[in-house]
Amino acid sequence: MAASPIPDYLAWKGQNTVFEETAAYFLVKASNDIVLGGPSATERERYSTVTNSFFTILGVQPAIGHGFSASDELPSGERVFLVSDALWRSVFGVDPRALYKNYLLQGESYTLTSVMPPGFDFPKGCGIWLPISALGESGLRDRVSHGYYVLGRLRSGANLSQAEAQIETIQDGLAKAYQNTDADWHVRAQPLLNEIVGDVQTSLLVLLGAVGFILLIACSNAVNLMLARALVREKEFAIRSALGADPVRLLRQNLTETFVLVCISVIFAVALAKWGFELTVSLGPPCICRGSNRFA
């Protein structure tokens, strides 16, 4: 999947009519991190430079502070950065006084303004987010480096084929205008879910079918146990009926006993499911995510 330079993304954003909102982010590998001069020590952290719409298009807002503004994208904008909840706890000690102070990022001074909510981990393993103004004027004009992945939310009534056709048309115009850098690049649009989960989607479906089959077997066994229990208590019900208990009272007694049994079972099942889910995730691939629509 091809990535985009910032100038191409800005052209796509300004000329398209099929997306109600777009965003771009730079996917940095763990081997290419940034040096953070924290309150007490120097740390190396994975980071991403993103547009100001990156968090809103994902439907995520900082737990503390606010996201990037449009002015933060300008080369003359303030040098600010956001951190993950994990970094906020491990490096800054959840100290409110650490906010709105300057720290060194790769030797340059930036102001910490926001903390992302727990669990937000996109791109995977990212601990620091910077506005695209961190690229500088030369970086914002760079058409050679295709390092940005683009997200787009379709307008009502638009479909993926229309989006791909329109962005490809825009890209064709860029290819003619900038033949040295854009001539050999094409656009492919696909749902973000398919892009991120595509390699494991079949395995997930097989796993879902297996779990459903096991659940069906468990339910059948539970029904058999309930029937066997009812047969064992047949004499008890006959005696209660002979002593004057009407069928409604016997039914109410059975429903009450079943309800208590179900409540206890649910408590144990939820606890076991939570522990089993965490164990399964820890044993699985490093990233199985969910998302919306993305093009790049």
Asked, for residue 72, whether it belongs to a domain, the answer is yes
In the listed set 187, 207, 231, which residue is the last one of a domain according to the structure?
Answer: 187
Regarding whether 245 and 109 lie in a shared domain, the answer is: no
Regarding whether 30 and 172 lie in a shared domain, the answer is: yes
Asked, for residue 295, whether it belongs to a domain, the answer is no
What is the model's pLDDT at position 139?
76
Regarding whether 163 and 123 lie in a shared domain, the answer is: yes
Q: Which ranges in the chain belong to alpha helices (H)?
A: 6-15, 54-57, 85-90, 136-141, 160-177, 179-182, 192-197, 201-232, 234-242, 247-283
Asked, for residue 193, whether it belongs to a domain, the answer is no
Half-sphere exposure of 198 toward its Cβ, with a 13 Å CA cutoff?
Answer: 7
Asked, for residue 15, whether it belongs to a domain, the answer is yes
Regarding whether 111 and 17 lie in a shared domain, the answer is: yes
Regarding whether 139 and 25 lie in a shared domain, the answer is: yes
- The pLDDT of residue 175 is above 70: yes
What is the model's pLDDT at position 32?
66
What is the model's pLDDT at position 197?
65
What is the model's pLDDT at position 31?
57
In which residue are the tokens 């990535």 written? Answer: 3
Regarding whether 175 and 34 lie in a shared domain, the answer is: yes
Regarding whether 232 and 172 lie in a shared domain, the answer is: no
- The pLDDT of residue 154 is above 80: yes
Regarding whether 144 and 108 lie in a shared domain, the answer is: yes
Q: Which of 59, 62, 102 is nearest to 80 (CA)?
A: 102
- The pLDDT of residue 205 is above 80: yes
Regarding whether 249 and 158 lie in a shared domain, the answer is: no
- The pLDDT of residue 159 is above 80: yes
Asked, for residue 94, whether it belongs to a domain, the answer is yes
Regarding whether 38 and 159 lie in a shared domain, the answer is: yes
d(C-alpha 229, C-alpha 147), whole Å: 65
What six digits make up the tokens of 187?
A: 């656009």
pLDDT in tens, 53-107: 999 898 899 999 888 888 888 877 788 999 999 999 998 989 988 999 999 998 8
Q: Kindly state the average pLDDT of the residues 3-21.
A: 87
Q: How many domains does the chain have?
A: 2
- The pLDDT of residue 174 is above 50: yes
pLDDT classification of 290: cutoffs 50, 70, 90? very low
pLDDT in tens, 252-284: 888 888 888 888 988 988 888 888 877 876 776
Asked, for residue 289, whether it belongs to a domain, the answer is no
pLDDT classification of 291: cutoffs 50, 70, 90? very low
- The pLDDT of residue 134 is above 80: yes
- Cα dist. 279→218, 273, 283, 284, 287 in Å? 21, 10, 6, 9, 14
pLDDT in tens, 215-230: 899 888 888 888 888 7
pLDDT classification of 30: cutoffs 50, 70, 90? low
Long-range contacts of residues 54-60, Cβ cutoff 8 Å, at least 24 apart = 54/23, 54/24, 54/25, 54/129, 54/151, 56/21, 56/23, 57/21, 57/22, 57/23, 57/151, 57/152, 57/153, 57/292, 58/23, 58/122, 58/151, 58/291, 58/292, 60/116, 60/117, 60/120
Regarding whether 181 and 209 lie in a shared domain, the answer is: no
Percent of the chain whose pLDDT exceeds 70: 90
Average pLDDT over all residues of the chain: 83
In the listed set 159, 187, 215, which residue is the last one of a domain according to the structure?
Answer: 187
- The pLDDT of residue 179 is above 80: yes
Q: Kindly state the average pLDDT of the residues 148-156.
A: 88
In the listed set 122, 154, 187, which residue is the last one of a domain according to the structure?
Answer: 187
- The pLDDT of residue 287 is above 80: no
Phi-psi region of 100 (alpha: psi -120 to 50; beta: other; left: phi over 0): left
What is the model's pLDDT at position 294?
39
What is the model's pLDDT at position 125?
83
Asked, for residue 194, whether it belongs to a domain, the answer is no
- The pLDDT of residue 295 is above 60: no
Regarding whether 169 and 110 lie in a shared domain, the answer is: yes
Asked, for residue 292, whether it belongs to a domain, the answer is no
Q: Which of 28-37, 51-60, 105-114 has the lowest mean pLDDT?
A: 28-37
Which residue segment(s) compose the domain that 258 sits in? Answer: 199-283
- The pLDDT of residue 115 is above 90: yes
Dihedral angle sign, alpha carbons of residues 82, 75, 153, 65: positive
What is the model's pLDDT at position 285?
55
